Amino acid sequence: MDNDEKHGLAPIIGTAPEILILGSLPSDESIRRQEYYGHPRNRFWPVMAAVLGEEPPTGYEAKKAMLKDHKIAVWDVFASARRHGSLDSAIHDEVPNDIASLLRANPSIRTICLNGGKAATAFRRFCRSNPGAIDLSMYKVHEFASTSQLSISVGWTLPRLIEQWRSLFL
C-alpha cells in the first residue's frame, strides 16, 4: 500500500440504531488513531455532545458509547480511496462501503445524515448509479455542513454547526 491509499474504519453501530451519519473518508489523523473524527480540531464530537445534551465525553470509548446510547451509527461513504493528505477534494479512485447491506442489517435506521459536501455528493452518486440498492423513500436524508475545521473558512462556526445539527432532533 502506498502512502496515498487510505482505508476507512469499521462502523460504529450499537443495538437498533435509528440514525446513520456518513462522512466521506477518515482524515489521516483519524486513520492513525483509528478513531472517527480523531483530528483534535474536527468539531464532530463537540457538536454531537451539544445536540444530544451531553457533556463532551473524553476518550474514544466514551464518545462511541454516547452515540450508541442515542441510537446513532457512524460510517463513511468510502471504504477506501487514494488521497494525498486529508482533504476531501483530493479523494480519487474511491471504493464505496456497502451501505445498502448495513441498512438492510439494521432496519431500525430511518434517518441518514451526510456530514459534508463530499459525503453528500458521493452518497447521491452511489444511489443514482445503483438504482434499487437503497430505496431513499424509506429514509429521511439530511445534508449537513462538514464538521471539519476547514468549514470555518466558509462561515461554519461551532454555534452555527450545532444549530444546523440540532434541527435533526426537533
**Which positions are annotated as active-site residues?**
42
Of 41, 15, 16, the closest CA to residue 27 belongs to 41
Q: Are strands 140-144 and 111-115 parallel, antiparallel or unpaired?
A: parallel
* Dist CA 143 CA 21 (whole Å): 10
Which residue pairs, CB below 8 angstroms and at least 24 apart, start in 94-98? 94/25, 94/122, 96/122, 96/126, 97/8
Three cell numbers written together for 70: 442515542
Dist. CA 93–CA 71, nearest whole Å: 32
